[in-house]
Amino acid sequence: MSTRKGGWTYVINRFDGSVNFDRKWTDYKQSFGNLSGEHWLGLDHLYELTSTKPTELFFELVDQDLKKVYALYDDFQMGNELESYRIKTVGQYRGDAGNSFKSQTEKFSTTDHGENIRCADYHKAGWWYSSCYSSCLTCRYRPMNEVKTSKYFDLGVHWVTFHGVEQSLKEARMMIRPRHG
């Protein structure tokens, strides 16, 4: 709660791989995981929290060497389920992680629903895929000591402008709060 003056609600919290994010549409609509551990807030909750007032979107990413970076977007809006939770805007970017989410103004897809089922099936995770590789914080968690498979880009939690797809992130958080000012 103290990150950048606090007030954040965690949408995604990943740090140890204890929660499987290979889930269907109905699971992503609702929340799953444990609020004190790894979890997903749920698309319905995310829509409700962002539909009535201007919202900021914040990503905190940590690599395998414990380097921490961030991406902050000043105007996050998304559609409801009838719009497949499409990201309408993310606003202006600030940060040192690189702007990997800016292009994600797409509809949410899972392995059983959406316009980009191919990417969701490939990564075994629901996400806002504009391409299969820009970013994916719900992708399979891969610990540092896990041997890379021969399957290209099956590298886990990633943010392409921070280590590309060559290294799965150790920690990833997606947070929202009402916009200040």
Question: Residue 6: pLDDT band by 50, 70, 90 thresholds?
Answer: confident
The three-state DSSP-derived secondary structure of the chain is CCHHHCCCEEEEEECCCCCCCCCCHHHHHCCEECCCCCEECCHHHHHHHHCCCCEEEEEEEECCCCCEEEEEECCCEECCHHHCCCEEECCCEEECCCCCCCCCCCCCEECCECCCHHHHHHHCCCECCCCCCCEECCCCCCCCCCCCCCCCCCCCCEECCECCCCCCCCEEEEEEEECCC
Beta partners for 12?
Answer: 40, 174
Which position has the token pair 């399979």?
140
Residue-range domains of the chain with CATH: 3-178 (3.90.215.10)
The structure tokens listed for 130 are 């504009």
- Prediction pTM value: 0.91
pLDDT tens for 37-55 read: 999 999 999 999 999 889 9
The mean pLDDT of the chain is: 88
